[in-house]
Structure 1
Amino acid sequence: MNQKTLSDKQMAILLAIMVAIMPFSVDAYLPAIKNIAVDLHTDIHLIERSLSTFILGVSAGQLLGGSLSDIKGRKNIALTGLLIYIVASIILIFVNSANQLMVLRLLQALGGGMTAVTVGAIIRDNYDGKYAAQMFALIGIIMMGAPLAAPMLGAVLQNLGGWRSIFAFLCFYGASVFALLWRFLPKRKQAEPFTRHIFHNILMRYRRVLGQKQALGFLFFQATSFSSMMVFLTESPFVYMELYGLTPQQYAWAFGCNIITMATFNRITAWRLKRDSSTQDILLWGIVIQLLTNLILGASVLIMGLPPFAVVVLCVMLSVGTQGLVVANTQALFMQHFREDSGSANALLSANQSLTGAMVGFLATVLHNGTAQILAWLMPTCTIVGVILLWHFSRSQWKR
């Protein structure tokens, strides 16, 4: 690869490596939550709350990085974010309290969010419509290996060097991504100088994006669909390892089933797009499957209390897996409304997803009652709210 001519597949690999910093940062951490709580002498639910703190930091990084990338260039902002991420990861190796963990995970997420948010803008700079959806789907299947491998890697690192070795790995990964972006990411925009009007310009960009009402339904549904998955991410260490008695290694394998389903749905998305299926139709299938499986999960917990583990795993697999049908298509349908403000639009899309997910994840820890009820009730609630908002704001897009 070189900076002048990157093929679509080469660009997809490079962008997937950038995006993968998020699943590595979240999923490699999950099997270690119980041990971190023990070592830091705190409650497991406080450590689970650090996941919502991380997603909140991602949201801030996305909002900051998205508009700045419109002004200073995608590559400059991506590299700046990585520097912040690397420094925070180094310090995280040496934390000795839950409060330190929270603050540093927030800083780590800020840098990671600044880097990851540039990906959607880079795609919008180079691709339109169905080609953009295909590119999102291609990136999605390449990076599926990260959330599949991350929990298993986290469990292995924890056994070999303790949970602190997970943050050492994240530091190494961040430094590797920095080197790859420095060498290979094309620099298509020269940085504009900072002026005293910069913050006003940023706000105006976001205002223009929010003014496109017909696009907002896709923004809201992506956020609520992601929030359904965030409920699982927040509650699953407790439900799987405490209520069902799984070991960290078994948890990693159960978690991996979700990623395999997501990858399968992602490939179905790419296959249907190549055969001229509309993005709206594929998204509709994702909505139906997610809603039905979440409702079945909720009903099974309501009736049985603690259903057979196979029932829970199957419902979660299908629900979380629908991200492979939802994300690429909501991104493409939302981003097609923006060209001049693509960085800001992508930042708002990503930040709204992260912020909503963080709030719902935090709500799950607050409502936690020592049962599987919060997992089973919040997941369908998120999807139902998303469907209502999608219909309210963007139903005109389905009539086209």
Structure 2
Amino acid sequence: MTKAHYIKLILILGSLTALGPFSIDMYLPGFAQIATDLNTTVASVAMTLSSYFIGISAGQLLYGPLLDRYGRKKPLFIGMLVYIAASLGCVFVRDIDTFIGLRFIQAVGSCAATVASVSMVRDLFPVKDIPKVFSLLMLVVGLSPMLAPTVGGYVTDWYGWHMVFVILMFIGIIIMLAAQFGLPNSYEPDTSISLKPKPILKNFANVLKEPQFYTYAFTGAIAFSGLFTYVAASPIIFMDIYKVDPKMYGWIFAFMSLSFILSSQLNSILLKWYRSEQLIYGALLTQSIIAVVFLVLAINNMLGLYETIGMLFLFLACLGISNPNTAGLTLAPFSNNAGSASALMGAIQLGLGALASFAVGVFVTASIYPMVVIMATSTIVALIVLLIGKRNIIIKH
């Protein structure tokens, strides 16, 4: 594989992976404007985030078997068409319930891109290179929360929030065309894979029985729910509690994303000296300590705007190291049914993300304290799951 071809693959796969985060982050600065336009509350608008997470979680399970049965490109193309149509629908919504429903459909479409990109990483690269490839994808993905809310803040300010969904629709069209014409057929369709519910469930059950899968999938997903908690709570924390304007919120969000980007690139370097298992343990232990300190500061009312930004920056940096490694180790045992494995991994991660964002919508209203409690709890539970699950794993190096 030439360097130019390698870079092209990373850019297209990264764009597919980034579509979901972009669709989540770009409309966040418009929450107050959307609430006013649709005669509802910011907390109700936050439910469109929960419905997106539910859609992207459920959709993962739908696309996993389809990608193994029909190859990668056909289900990806159909999913992208669904995403484009739903994005267009969001431009014309007049009430919050329709908006919540369309965001669910948009998510079901976008997760074709997520599952296909993860499956294709497993198809196209050797197992030992997968954590490094995921770190490079994190660089592309990390640019989305830097760019999306900042661009979204200005677009919302100048043209209104509807224009955000027009832009998302065009991004969907560009990514769909890039994937169709720029990616190889990385996997031959497997006609032996049944699409009846019983064999699909049996296939998922077989994946779930693998100790390496369930240990690292759940460790990664529970830890990563801290990021979903932050994303869902951030409009309320920064714009409602700390009273920053939408444009400043976009810049704060972009700054936070730097921690995720820089640490995921640091992970690529650390992999030269340390194994993925060591990096996951170190990152989670550090994250637990940061979360406990964060909680103590919150309980004692010692958090202003800058202290909150600093603690969140450190917390998110740990995820940039643990996430590529948990993803790589989760998928490593699977070659034949990587589509189902990546779908199940994504469904677990985003299902827990939906729960976290729902908890934010219910509890985070006038205080930062509930957000910090959720983040600290998820981190410590992830560390416990890792320590218990590791006893059952035999990893071949």
Band the TM-score falls in, shorter-chain normalisation: over 0.9
SS in 1 for 2:57: helix
What is aligned with 2:291? 294
1:379 equivalent in alignment to 2:375: yes
Pair 1:214–1:132, CA change in 2 (3 A): closer
> What are the within-5 Å matches in structure 2 for residues 275-290 of structure 1?
275-290=272-287
What is aligned with 1:142? 140
Deviation larger for 169-178 or 223-232: 223-232
Match of 1:353 among 349, 353, 368: 349
1:311 equivalent in alignment to 2:317: no
Match of 1:342 among 323, 338, 345: 338
1:238 equivalent in alignment to 2:225: no
- Aligned equivalents of 1:73 and 1:195: distance in 2? 11
Deviation larger for 254-263 or 124-133: 124-133
Give the Å deviation of 1:55.
0.7
Pair 1:295–1:235, CA change in 2 (3 A): same
> What are the within-5 Å matches in structure 2 for residues 172-191 of structure 1?
172-191=170-189
Pair 1:11–1:197, CA change in 2 (3 A): closer
Q: Deviation digits for residues 193-231 of structure 1, max 9, x if unmatched?
A: 598763333222101101112331211111111211111
- Aligned equivalents of 1:345 and 1:281: distance in 2? 23
> What are the within-5 Å matches in structure 2 for residues 357-368 of structure 1?
357-368=353-364
What is aligned with 1:251? 249
Give the Å deviation of 1:7.
2.5
Q: Is the 8 A contact 1:85 1:112 kept in 2?
A: yes
What is aligned with 1:54? 52
Q: Deviation digits for residues 351-396 of structure 1, max 9, x if unmatched?
A: 1000111012102212234211111111001111111122222234
1:28 equivalent in alignment to 2:26: yes
- Aligned equivalents of 2:334 and 2:148: distance in 1? 34
What is aligned with 2:121? 123
Structure 1 gaps, min length 5: none
Q: Deviation digits for residues 60-88 of structure 1, max 9, x if unmatched?
A: 11111112101111111111110100000
Q: Deviation digits for residues 35-72 of structure 1, max 9, x if unmatched?
A: 11111110110101211110110011111111210111
Q: Is the 8 A contact 2:84 2:169 kept in 1?
A: yes
What is aligned with 1:162? 160
1:10 equivalent in alignment to 2:24: no
Structure 2 gaps, min length 5: none
Pair 1:29–1:192, CA change in 2 (3 A): same
What is aligned with 1:223? 221
Letter in 1 for 2:299: L
Give the Å deviation of 1:319.
1.0
TM-score by length of 1: 0.94
Pair 1:186–1:164, CA change in 2 (3 A): same
Q: Deviation digits for residues 127-183 of structure 1, max 9, x if unmatched?
A: 233311111111111332211100001011112210000000000000011111111
Letter in 2 for 1:367: F
Pair 1:194–1:311, CA change in 2 (3 A): same
Q: Is the 8 A contact 1:258 1:318 kept in 2?
A: no
SS in 1 for 2:243: coil
Give the Å deviation of 1:236.
1.3
> What are the within-5 Å matches in structure 2 for residues 191-230 of structure 1?
191-192=189-190, 198-230=196-228
Pair 1:268–1:5, CA change in 2 (3 A): closer
Aligned length: 396
Letter in 2 for 1:315: M
Q: Is the 8 A contact 1:65 1:77 kept in 2?
A: yes
